[in-house]
Amino acid sequence: MKQTFIQGTLILIIAGLITRILGFINRIVTAKILGAEGVGLYMMAFPTLLLIITLTQLGLPVAISKLIAEAEIHHDTQKMKRVLVVSLCVTGTLSILFTAALMSASPLFAAYFLTDERALYPLIAITPIIPIVAVSAVLRGYFQGRQNMKPTAISQVIEQAVRISLVAVCTKALLPYGLEFAAAGAMLSVVAGELASLLFMMKCFKNNKPLKVRSHFLGALKEGKTTFQQLMNISLPATGSRMIGSISLFLEPIIIAQSLALAGVATAVATAQYGELSGFVIPLLLLPTFITYSFSVTLVPNVSEAAANNNYKVIQNRLRQTLRTALLAGVFSSMFLYVFAELIMTVMYDAPHAAYYIKILAPFSIFLYLQGPLQAVLQGLDLAKSAMVNTLVGAIIKMAALFVLTSQPELGIKGAALAIALNMMLVTLLHLYVVSKAVGFIFEGVYGFIVLLTSFASVSTAYWMIQHYFSNQTILVQSMTAAVLSAGLYLLLLLATGLIKWNQLKRLVPKT
């Protein structure tokens, strides 16, 4: 069932919120069992998986979404079928090849690049997820192209629910055999979650499909040459940005591990420090991105449809809605994380010393929240090549900064945090420049300044109240009180200043 832009976005936001909450519970459980070193082993293997998945998907989800949206306008079900058949063949073939390649190369990669041979077991454990994610990506692109966000949203919740149900069982069962086996157990719970998500989307497709994919499958494949070219014309530039980002993440643990070794940091300590940065801090900073991701997913087909009709006013309005929402969520989140960094890291991971990384990254994370929607607009406008160039420039500078800063003994892992912050800011500013030229969009500086003031007022007031009235309470009570007070004050200030209005909130509630 097709939804409007706001309805589809709201569905994904609600699912994203539930998913993030479950995800954090999952991370806390994993951190309690594995510790920083075990999480480091887990996170060292994860960028390799992301790179392989990017290579397997080849940017097809975006291309599928765009072509399905265009076919939907003309009610061309045969084109939809060709898109699905060609996409499944491409991703299926690539997933088999890359699964075999990863299984073969894992021992050498763990020993010589990650500098910790124990990373081998998480690498092997995560390998079965590749074909699962390949098929999921095709179905997700199909549903998003038809602007039906419910299957994507529900599948995300199912994935996290299965993961959180199994992570403690898998890690504890394998922990007696060693930390590396326990980290592999955490990876197995990820595989199980993705499988459950895929099975649900297959059920949704079977129940609601307007076409039969298996019927005359080979015939549709033979007729799919033009469709294949259309998919590649969109997906290859789009996958360029993802590829660069995935390669950057893939190289990140390698460069950090090697740089920390040059700085004189022992292997086990380096693994633990990387686990704190990538496993504890980065996920916290990424929390508001479930909102911007939701807008980004719905932006691509909407912008594509508007661009096809030369309706740039719609594109500007959609972008303005998205960036305003990103600012409302992102500025408050970064301010809250910065002010209450020690409290949050203590209550979640019992690692108050890791709060320093949050204080480095939080002010720059605002750029990250704006980055996804801007990139989605570029893809919808067929400017994926520009997005790819921007991402490449940011990745090159990030890699250079990682090596230079992290290898300094006086900085160490803090240098990695600085390099990540630099990348966030640079890529977003480049995206904003290209979008502004393409659609005549002007960034609303005054709006952003008011959001900054309201965020500061709400968080600083909550901090003062915690210090004066709740200082004798437990850390958990202080954390929950800080979150409720800050959010409540922020909402009141947003309503008082008119940044959001009651009638806007009412429109979010579906009419019966």
Pair (271, 337) in one structural domain: yes
DSSP string, 111-173: HHTSS-GGGHHHHHHHTTHHHHHHHHHHHHHHHHHTT--HHHHHHHHHHHHHHHHHHHHHHHH
pLDDT of residue 465: 92
Average pLDDT over residues 353-358: 88
- CA of 229: how far to CAs of 83, 129, 211, 233, in Å? 11, 27, 22, 6
pLDDT of residue 397: 93
139-148, 206-215, 368-377: the lowest-pLDDT one: 206-215
pLDDT of residue 462: 93
Average pLDDT over residues 498-504: 70
Statement: residue 509 has pLDDT above 60: no
Pair (383, 498) in one structural domain: no
pLDDT of residue 510: 45
- CA of 224: how far to CAs of 147, 217, 218, in Å? 23, 11, 10
- CA of 142: how far to CAs of 63, 232, 473, in Å? 10, 16, 50
Choice between 293 and 2, residue whose per-residue pLDDT is larger:
293
Token pair recorded at residue 456: 């500061």
Nearest Cα to Cα of residue 171 among 179, 182, 162: 182
Average pLDDT over residues 426-435: 90
132-183: per-residue pLDDT in tens? 988 888 888 888 777 777 888 888 889 888 988 888 888 888 888 888 888 8
Pair (30, 147) in one structural domain: yes
Choice between 229 and 177, residue whose per-residue pLDDT is larger:
177
Average pLDDT over residues 306-327: 77
95-99, 141-145, 190-194: the lowest-pLDDT one: 141-145
User: How many folded domains does the chain comprise?
Assistant: 2
| Predicted model pTM | 0.69
270-291: per-residue pLDDT in tens? 778 888 888 788 888 887 777 7
pLDDT of residue 180: 85
Average pLDDT value for the chain? 81
The Cα–Cα gap between 91 and 123 comes to 21
Choice between 457 and 349, residue whose per-residue pLDDT is larger:
457
Pair (438, 448) in one structural domain: no
The Cα–Cα gap between 185 and 37 comes to 15
Answer whether 455's CB lies under 8 Å from 490's CB.
yes
pLDDT of residue 504: 54
Nearest Cα to Cα of residue 493 among 485, 482, 504: 485
Share of the chain above pLDDT 70, in %: 87
Pair (103, 214) in one structural domain: yes
Backbone angles phi, psi at 322, to 5 degrees: -70, -45
Share of the chain above pLDDT 90, in %: 15
Pair (396, 411) in one structural domain: yes
1-43: per-residue pLDDT in tens? 555 555 656 676 677 777 777 777 777 778 778 887 888 877 7
The count of other CB atoms within 10 Å of the CB of residue 483 is 15
354-358, 438-442, 491-495: the lowest-pLDDT one: 438-442
The Cα–Cα gap between 292 and 182 comes to 33
Statement: residue 512 has pLDDT above 50: no
Statement: residue 339 has pLDDT above 90: yes
Token pair recorded at residue 143: 């549903």
The Cα–Cα gap between 457 and 416 comes to 31
Average pLDDT over residues 229-238: 74
Choose the final residue of a domain: 384, 416, 443.
Answer: 443
pLDDT-derived band of residue 297, with 50, 70 and 90 as boundaries?
A: low
Helix, strand, coil % in the chain, rounded to nearest 5: 85, 0, 15
Average pLDDT over residues 317-338: 85
- How many Å is the Cα radius of gyration of the chain? 23
Average pLDDT over residues 470-491: 89
Pair (191, 312) in one structural domain: yes
User: Which residues contact residue 58 at a Cβ distance below 8 angstroms, ignoring those fewer than 6 apart?
Assistant: 90, 91, 94, 235, 236, 239
Alpha helices in 350-383 (DSSP H): 355-380
Pair (271, 287) in one structural domain: yes
Pair (297, 354) in one structural domain: yes
pLDDT of residue 52: 79
pLDDT of residue 224: 67
Pair (39, 152) in one structural domain: yes
Nearest Cα to Cα of residue 369 among 451, 276, 287: 287
Answer whether 41's CB lies under 8 Å from 185's CB.
no
pLDDT-derived band of residue 216, with 50, 70 and 90 as boundaries?
A: low
Average pLDDT over residues 297-320: 73
Statement: residue 455 has pLDDT above 80: yes
- Residue at 352: amino acid letter: P
Pair (411, 510) in one structural domain: no
Pair (279, 391) in one structural domain: yes
Reported residue count of the chain is: 512
Nearest Cα to Cα of residue 16 among 156, 144, 145, 141: 156
Structural domain span for residue 21: 5-443
- CA of 129: how far to CAs of 50, 195, 197, in Å? 11, 8, 12
58-67: per-residue pLDDT in tens? 777 778 887 8
Choose the final residue of a domain: 419, 443, 467.
Answer: 443
The Cα–Cα gap between 66 and 320 comes to 21
Token pair recorded at residue 17: 């919120």
pLDDT of residue 5: 55
Can you tell me whether residue 288 is helix, strand or coil?
Answer: coil
With the CA atoms of 383, 143, 424 and 437 taken in that order, what torsion angle do they form, in degrees rounded to the nearest 10? 30
168-172, 202-206, 263-267, 502-506: the lowest-pLDDT one: 502-506
Statement: residue 292 has pLDDT above 90: no
Choose the final residue of a domain: 422, 443, 464.
Answer: 443
pLDDT of residue 502: 65
Q: Which long-range contacts (CB under 8 A, 24 or more apart) does 15-20 make?
A: 15/152, 15/153, 15/154, 15/156, 15/157, 15/294, 16/153, 16/156, 16/290, 16/291, 16/293, 16/294, 17/290, 18/157, 18/160, 19/156, 19/157, 19/159, 19/160, 19/290, 20/287, 20/290
